[in-house]
Amino acid sequence: MTCSKFISALTLLFIFQINTLTAQKNFTVGGVSVPRTLEFKNKEIQLNGVGQRSKMFTELYVQALYLSQLSQDAKFILESNTEMAIRIQVTSSMVTSKKLSKALEKGLEKSVGVEGITKLNKQIAQLEALLTKEETNEGDAFNLMYSPVDSAISIYKNGNYEGKIEGFEFKKAFFGIWLSENPVDKTLKEDLLGIYK
């Protein structure tokens, strides 16, 4: 085989692999099937990045960030008043409803600081009520989806609508749990932004 034919064959193989990858609607991370797109209020949002949250050598959940406009700029994402979502799929029996709720509350405090958290007391109480309505089990998936139409985060558990929490400032603080200057996990932040090192 000549050099030019070999390069042509390699190019075709590369194109085939890209097309195959693009055609896949889901891919697997840590044993979890992660969709490439989510639909919300007749809008399709794209997977921006995905990673795993671990603590003390235990993988707690697989998390994905979906955006209407892909970006690696955390500040831009937090300030953006466009459709976006966080998807969390629990991968450990250690994650209970109360523990998840408390972890998110602590993350909110890191996101906005001790002074900022008092302004969000109402929304934090709503979040806790929605997350602790029933027990969380390994394998449960949460879609937390923001819409600029009503400036609210709608919460879905295993595809079932649980309720919504209003407020653009709450949206910024909530997504800031993972994307702020003080995130709960810096490696996970980079993964969600699609910055893989």
Residues 6+ apart with CB under 8 A from 172: 78, 79
- The residue to which tokens 């800031």 are assigned: 176
Q: How far is CA 78 from CA 88, 151, 193, in A?
A: 18, 13, 12
Dihedrals phi, psi of 7, to nearest 5 degrees = -65, -40
pLDDT of residue 144: 96
pTM score of the predicted model = 0.84
Q: How far is CA 29 from CA 39, 125, 184, in A?
A: 20, 32, 20
* Helix, coil or strand: residue 161: strand
Mean pLDDT (10-residue bins), the chain, 197 residues: 43 42 65 89 92 76 94 96 95 90 91 88 93 91 96 95 96 96 93 84
CATH architecture classification, 28-192: 3-Layer(bba) Sandwich (3.50)
